[in-house]
Structure 1
Amino acid sequence: MEGIDYGPYLNVYILIDFEPGGQSYLPDYIWDGQVRGYEWELCIAVYNSSSATLYDLNWQNVSGLSWQFHDFQGMLACNVSKSTADDYGFTNGETVYIRVATVRDGQSGLRDICPNDSLSDGYWDGALASNSHTVTTKLAFVHHGNQHINPFTSGVVDDGQGHGFYRILDSHEEYGLPVNIHMSGVLITSLVWNNPSFLERIKNLTSRGLVEILGSVYGQHIMPYLDECLNTWALNKHKELCQRYFNATPRVAWVPERVWKYFLDNDFSNTGFEAVVLDGQTHHNDYCGCGNYHLTHKISTSYDVYAFFICERWYGTDFPGANSDWHLDFKKHWAGIVRAGDEKQICVYGDDWEKAAGVANWPTGNPNNYDSMIRWLAGAKPWIQVVKLSDYLDWYTQPTSGVTITITEDTYGGLKYWTGGSYDNWYNDFKYWVPYGCTKTAETLWKDVLQALNYSSSFNTSTPSGRLKELAMWTLASNLYETAWHEWDGSDWVLCGWGKEIWAHLRYAMILVKAANWTENPPATPQIYWEDVDDDGANELIMCNDKIYFVIERIGGRIVFAATKDGRVYIGNYMVQYRGTEGDYNDDDHVGALTDKWYTYNNHDYSHELYTVQIEVSNQTHVQAKMVSPDAYITKKATLRKGSYGLRVQYSQKYAGTLYVRLGSFSPDLETMLYEGKKVLQTLGSGGQGFMGWKNTVTNASAVVAWQYPGAAYSWAWTLTFAKMVEIKSLALNFCFDLTFAPLQNETEFAFSTLYSAYLNVYTSFTEGSKLVAAFYTYSGVQKANITVWRGVTPNWVALYMEVWHPLGLPIENVTLFLVDEEGNILSKVTSFLVTRAHLQARTEELKQKWTDAALEEKTVLMREIAEIDSQWPYAPG
């Protein structure tokens, strides 16, 4: 029993035989029978932890005995001196024979004996030889960690109160025993943002051979119900993350919720997995009559895929502490495996990592109990071998049972009971469920995304379209998390609330598909139009040009997505867990730009009000959207110009009062952030500088809010999950600001774009002036036209990235950027740009490449530019 000191109750007798002949009766009048064969010369009698005697064959006490009882380990160590052993017949190299018996206090009868014998004939036959050996029990610990992408995963790693994933690693590292870890892809991604040092620790332990990494599908969707292409993508994505963060390629896979159907063997085999972890009580016992799930079985007639089976004895809420009743039962179980004599048998523990860690509502005593068990196992190495599953695959020819079975459909016992015998029953609820605010069922939504993606084996992520499609699949896989999971509502199992909040947003993957399609054929002039890009049955407003793509949602009049032509996402962290809403609303980690959070005039939050959204302007140079609150107290206009990487936003309030506007969720180059975390983000500007933003130091992708114009001021800024946000406030009834999403450089310069346009990058401060003007000249110095590219107040920082077109539609020869005052007086020359023959040659080659696939009307435009390049060539500098 746990907590009992066994020291006073030992009463152990060890009979030692060195040579033929000797004593056949036990000392202390123990038992009235005799030993037969291997009679003893010395007998060790240990009565308790402080009292023992060494008897010779004449029952006389002799010296030379030392002993120690390890109560925690349940082990007794005895030593007889060499000189004493020599006196009683010990010879180096000769076999020594031993018998062990226990008795109870005050009783003479034998309680337990080893080796075992019936004693019915009055004799104890047999002995243990010193040169004999036994097999070891193989024991594998598999911990499955699964949390979504949210701000709380650091608390699961370490809750600050002695619980968390780290405790399990501590135990195995302290005692030098290996452990098998599965971390879902969403958990890994979450820790990239929240706790990258924990991933580094796992990588270190993996390199030292103490951790084995298991694979699975990225977002832990329930595999049998999703298409093979998604299973394949998700298995490969998770494997990619394991290789990236742990330098490990998984060979064994964790099956989400162990929901298995026979055809999944194809998915695992085709992605390089050798084995999966299933359940002995169900997957094995329901389909195999061999009676031994402690051996691996082949579970495919077409592929070499094997199954390890979790031992059913582990099922329970608490974790067994060392020397608890439960643990004593395990000792008997493991001893039984040893006595069976088959060294290939393996007892597998497999459960939520959170369980042993004592977090996520599991008993908080579990980490200490787990540690005590690992400590006990470390002392039991002579007969229990804690192993990694991949080592087991290497040691033995698979399957070790020699048996092939077909598991048609199964899961673990509890889930099988809850689902009424088949997970189909739960999935059907999900299949026909229509998320809030949608017109389609959940199954139709995910199938629509896969059909639109037309995924085969991989996306070409070196292309803008491929990057966005990869993020679309990432979004879909994340939001299919624990597909169709149910909860008990007091009378029945129903789709769980937290699950519906996640699954309802899987359709946002379609926005990324639409953006990918846009990158493949961006418009030559700004466009504004209505389209249902999120597959909910209602149109969103799209604003785009050939540089940037925006999605505006009527709810709140918010910008909910932004991406640039290079396939970089700036707003759209849709793979982060949605919490608290099924609909197209903000939550703590998803805050659309232009969110009118609070208006002090009427103390009202307009974040989720249904705005009237109109197309106000649409022409060859710019488009403008107008959004009006239901009470007409707030009007905002967003303008996108040709060649621009951003929006000019103008606000009007009907009544005096402070309006707080939130601008987020900014994720400058989301893809890079998902891999690299916070470390790649650099803060630009500050509240006091009139602009603020964040720059991705890997790709220079930058999201900047500039409110230099009168009427607005900084409020505050903060960090979301894989996003940043800034809030500004009104100081007047009318105010405006600029939103820029572009690869900003820390300099001011022009760059060649086409014969008629040039990119302008501005990232600098000005102490005077009110406008930046681009002036266009001929090679001979004749000014042809000018255009104002920025207007504001100084001193201030200016952050711009835009395409500047010749106002007259002429070829650019020489363009200069000037800082001027309100009267138009030039204060300074900022930068200039001269089109050379090298630019013209490069542009000609680019146009020739476009020619092959161009339509007839497009070729007319291309021919015009080629002809004007030819005309400009003689005058262009070399």
Structure 2
Amino acid sequence: MPLPVPFLFHFNQHFNEYARVAGRACYRGLLRVLRAHPALKFNIHISGTLIHALSWVDPEPLELIRDGLKAGQFELLGSTYAQNILYASNDWDNARQIELHKAVLFDAFGVEPRTFWNVERCWRQSLVPLMAEAGYTCTLVEDHILSRAGATGPFTFTTRADSHRLLVVTDDETLKHKVNLAAWFGRSGQAFDHLRALAARPDADALCPAYAEDAEAMGLWGWERGVTPNQTWAYLDEFLSALEAEPGLRLIHFSDAPPPGGDLTPIPDGSAAWMDAALTRPDAPYHEDGYANWFDFHARSPKLKHFTQTYDIIRARIQAMPQNTPGAEAFRRAALLTYCAHQYEFGCIGVGGLNDRGWEDARTAVAVARAAQVAEADGEFVIIDDCNGDGSDEVLVSDGAQLQITTAYGGRVLYWFDLRTGQQFLGNQLPVLPGVYTGDGHFPVVEPVNNGRLPEDDAPRHSAERVEEMPPTRMGRFLPLWVWQSESLPVAVAAREMNPGEAVMPLMAQTRAFADYVTLDTQSAEQPPEEWLDSRMEKGGVTFIRYLSDELTLEKTLRFVLGKLVAG
């Protein structure tokens, strides 16, 4: 019987327009190569943040995934919406992340996955009930963790906690690196030697070594380092063609994994091999100085401690939100989406931190929670309060049916809600803005972004422009040094010209540019809006006064009139 091998590609980006770059430099080409081999089965995981980002900036990869699902070639995995590490996160947050991701997958693709992608491969046994109660029956665990639990090969196993049980598939770290060597450099010998050795075993049909890798490895990582992605797609295409010709190998969906060869309960706590390796190699991607391994990072990282406390505060606000009206329930859903979106890759090395909007903007969920509280109270009011926890006051104006939240300086409208239905008319708390976080109310300081010239097409194609490089090469920082020991050197790299392309400003919707602001047609340097400012409360509204000069004063009044937000 052929050796069953699941291939999994994990797609992930934050809610940011860089997803368009990833789509052009990676996702389109990768998915077209996979679809060009309809006889081969593939497993796909795509994060909720990326689904929502691609829906705005490049829907084509989503359509390619839908086509693969309809054809029965692809099978989707579930996970957390924003790829926070379960081990490092509060389990209430984890449950909400998993629920949200399942809902987004169903909305986008109409499927309910049964296999769970455990984010960044960090394992604790208490995750079993969390996954099982969400409807999942299968997950992956890295081979080095399973070996410490007693595994003697890449079999499938059961593992249990309380009354719950999961099927565990072996995440083969060695296979991952050897397949990457084939896709990046056309050196496929090691990958086939590894697979053929397993296929030659008498119990081959009971084995299930899984290749699980970031989809970005198949184009984006190389493109960022000056490698032509079309070359990567060409090497991958050739590797998959060779796989099809191997009678002893069979690519499968996780739902078709062989029955378990035993039970491993408990499986000891474990962390991803790649993170442990990156922490010991200063030249490795995502390296952070001063930590022996991921568990050391998890225990001592100041940024994790800080944001764990921040998330505790925000979580308590969300948990206290009323749910007794349609509007309040809509606000709760919006607050949860905002909160989850800004836990992106929480717990991972080399990601996030103080003043990083990917985590800091979780505070905007508090403003939505405040709207739900306001909805319970009838009547008009104008109050000043730091309603989003960013350290700066905001002005809240309500006519009993609607709520506007503006900055205390300048009266820039941040949010506008219908308190009865929960509809949000104005505000954009989801995207991750470029630039340093300075608070919810400050207009972000943005600059043109130059992502280089993107590939002209998605076709797999060998490049005529190649350079010879010795290990580790520009890509080799992603590989362990042992992969080079049996290879002839140097290797050819399909180098591209690092053309700067055209610098463009971030999308307006991502920068909240639709929130009002004023500029003057003058050669003189403008005063920052925090200075020479005053305001006065009025019935049903607020007036902001800007002293621009001795000769020029600007007044702006915001109020609700006949159910409409009026600025004058």
Q: TM-score range by the shorter chain?
A: 0.7 to 0.9
Distance of 1:144 and 1:322 partners within structure 2 = 16
Who is 2:189 aligned against?
328
Query: 57, 73, 81: which one pairs with 1:218?
Result: 81
- SS of the equivalent of 1:371 reads helix
Query: 149, 155, 160: which one pairs with 1:288?
Result: 149
Residue 444 of structure 1 pairs with residue 309 of structure 2:
yes
Query: 516, 522, 527: which one pairs with 2:372?
Result: 516
Once the two structures are TM-superposed, the CA of residue 323 in structure 1 deviates from its matched residue by 12
Distance of 1:206 and 1:591 partners within structure 2 = 36
Identify if the C-alpha distance between structure 1 residues 629 and 596 changes in structure 2 by more than 3 Å, giving closer, same or farther: farther
Identify if the C-alpha distance between structure 1 residues 322 and 547 changes in structure 2 by more than 3 Å, giving closer, same or farther: closer
Residues 175, 194 of structure 2: 8 Å contact kept: no
Residues 321, 373 of structure 1: 8 Å contact kept: yes
Identify if the C-alpha distance between structure 1 residues 446 and 404 changes in structure 2 by more than 3 Å, giving closer, same or farther: same
Distance of 1:194 and 1:464 partners within structure 2 = 30
- SS of the equivalent of 2:266 reads coil
Query: 554, 559, 568: which one pairs with 1:640?
Result: 559
Once the two structures are TM-superposed, the CA of residue 634 in structure 1 deviates from its matched residue by 4.8
Who is 2:233 aligned against?
367
Percent identity at matched positions? 17
Who is 2:253 aligned against?
388
More strand by share: 1
**With structure 2 as the length reference, what TM-score do the two structures score?**
0.78
Distance of 2:553 and 2:342 partners within structure 1 = 34
Residues 410, 544 of structure 2: 8 Å contact kept: no
Residues 624, 639 of structure 1: 8 Å contact kept: yes
Distance of 2:375 and 2:318 partners within structure 1 = 14
Residues 298, 405 of structure 1: 8 Å contact kept: yes
Once the two structures are TM-superposed, the CA of residue 294 in structure 1 deviates from its matched residue by 3.7
Distance of 1:223 and 1:645 partners within structure 2 = 44
Once the two structures are TM-superposed, the CA of residue 412 in structure 1 deviates from its matched residue by 1.4
- SS of the equivalent of 1:551 reads strand
Once the two structures are TM-superposed, the CA of residue 232 in structure 1 deviates from its matched residue by 1.3
Distance of 2:202 and 2:529 partners within structure 1 = 68
Who is 1:303 aligned against?
164
Residues 140, 389 of structure 1: 8 Å contact kept: yes
Identify if the C-alpha distance between structure 1 residues 582 and 499 changes in structure 2 by more than 3 Å, giving closer, same or farther: closer
Who is 2:491 aligned against?
none
- SS of the equivalent of 2:224 reads coil
Residues 261, 408 of structure 1: 8 Å contact kept: yes
Identify if the C-alpha distance between structure 1 residues 225 and 425 changes in structure 2 by more than 3 Å, giving closer, same or farther: same
Once the two structures are TM-superposed, the CA of residue 427 in structure 1 deviates from its matched residue by 6.3
Once the two structures are TM-superposed, the CA of residue 428 in structure 1 deviates from its matched residue by 4.3
1:31-70 equivalences in 2 (<5 Å):
none
1:130-180 CA deviation, whole Å, 9 max, x = no partner?
xxxxx2111111111110112232221223xxxx21222222222221111
Q: Choose 314-323 or 367-376, whichever is displaced more.
A: 314-323
1:215-273 CA deviation, whole Å, 9 max, x = no partner?
00101112223322221111111111211221211111111211222211121111011
Who is 1:438 aligned against?
none
Query: 216, 226, 244: which one pairs with 2:107?
Result: 244
Residues 414, 515 of structure 2: 8 Å contact kept: no
Residues 172, 209 of structure 2: 8 Å contact kept: yes
Q: Residue type of the partner of 1:147?
A: Q
Distance of 2:307 and 2:531 partners within structure 1 = 24
Q: Residue type of the partner of 1:263?
A: S
Identify if the C-alpha distance between structure 1 residues 148 and 432 changes in structure 2 by more than 3 Å, giving closer, same or farther: closer
Distance of 1:391 and 1:303 partners within structure 2 = 21
Who is 1:502 aligned against?
358
Query: 336, 340, 345: which one pairs with 2:207?
Result: 345
Residues 406, 414 of structure 2: 8 Å contact kept: yes
Query: 396, 411, 425: which one pairs with 2:297?
Result: 425
Who is 2:454 aligned against?
none
Once the two structures are TM-superposed, the CA of residue 555 in structure 1 deviates from its matched residue by 4.8
Once the two structures are TM-superposed, the CA of residue 426 in structure 1 deviates from its matched residue by 4.2
RMSD: 2.9
Identify if the C-alpha distance between structure 1 residues 603 and 330 changes in structure 2 by more than 3 Å, giving closer, same or farther: same
Who is 1:601 aligned against?
522
Identify if the C-alpha distance between structure 1 residues 408 and 378 changes in structure 2 by more than 3 Å, giving closer, same or farther: same
Who is 1:541 aligned against?
395
Question: Structure 2 regions of 5+ residues with no counterpart?
Answer: 280-290, 445-505
Distance of 1:406 and 1:460 partners within structure 2 = 39
Residues 557, 611 of structure 1: 8 Å contact kept: no
Identify if the C-alpha distance between structure 1 residues 408 and 612 changes in structure 2 by more than 3 Å, giving closer, same or farther: farther
1:47-95 CA deviation, whole Å, 9 max, x = no partner?
xxxxxxxxxxxxxxxxxxxxxxxxxxxxxxxxxxxxxxxxxxxxxxxxx
Identify if the C-alpha distance between structure 1 residues 152 and 431 changes in structure 2 by more than 3 Å, giving closer, same or farther: closer
1:462-490 CA deviation, whole Å, 9 max, x = no partner?
81111111111111111110114443xxx
Once the two structures are TM-superposed, the CA of residue 551 in structure 1 deviates from its matched residue by 1.3
1:180-205 CA deviation, whole Å, 9 max, x = no partner?
11000000111121223432331221
Q: Residue type of the partner of 1:170?
A: R
Who is 2:543 aligned against?
625
Question: Structure 1 regions of 5+ residues with no counterpart?
Answer: 1-134, 434-440, 488-494, 650-878
Residues 299, 307 of structure 1: 8 Å contact kept: no
Q: How many residues align?
A: 482
Distance of 1:577 and 1:140 partners within structure 2 = 33
Residue 575 of structure 1 pairs with residue 430 of structure 2:
yes
Residue 453 of structure 1 pairs with residue 318 of structure 2:
yes
Q: Choose 467-476 or 304-313, whichever is displaced more.
A: 304-313
Q: Residue type of the partner of 1:207?
A: K
Residues 10, 213 of structure 2: 8 Å contact kept: yes
Residues 410, 546 of structure 2: 8 Å contact kept: no
Once the two structures are TM-superposed, the CA of residue 503 in structure 1 deviates from its matched residue by 1.0
More helix by share: 2
Residues 129, 162 of structure 2: 8 Å contact kept: no
Identify if the C-alpha distance between structure 1 residues 590 and 636 changes in structure 2 by more than 3 Å, giving closer, same or farther: farther
1:176-255 equivalences in 2 (<5 Å):
176=38, 177-255=40-118
Once the two structures are TM-superposed, the CA of residue 590 in structure 1 deviates from its matched residue by 2.9
Query: 262, 265, 268: which one pairs with 2:125?
Result: 262
Who is 1:832 aligned against?
none
Q: Residue type of the partner of 1:509?
A: A
Once the two structures are TM-superposed, the CA of residue 631 in structure 1 deviates from its matched residue by 5.9
Residues 229, 455 of structure 1: 8 Å contact kept: no
Q: Residue type of the partner of 1:421?
A: N
Who is 2:463 aligned against?
none
Identify if the C-alpha distance between structure 1 residues 320 and 429 changes in structure 2 by more than 3 Å, giving closer, same or farther: closer
Once the two structures are TM-superposed, the CA of residue 334 in structure 1 deviates from its matched residue by 1.8
Distance of 1:452 and 1:498 partners within structure 2 = 21
Distance of 1:579 and 1:317 partners within structure 2 = 36
- SS of the equivalent of 1:546 reads coil
Q: Which structure ranks higher in relative contact order (CA pairs < 8 Å, sequence separation ≥ 6)?
A: 2
- SS of the equivalent of 1:409 reads coil
Residues 79, 118 of structure 2: 8 Å contact kept: yes
Distance of 1:141 and 1:607 partners within structure 2 = 54
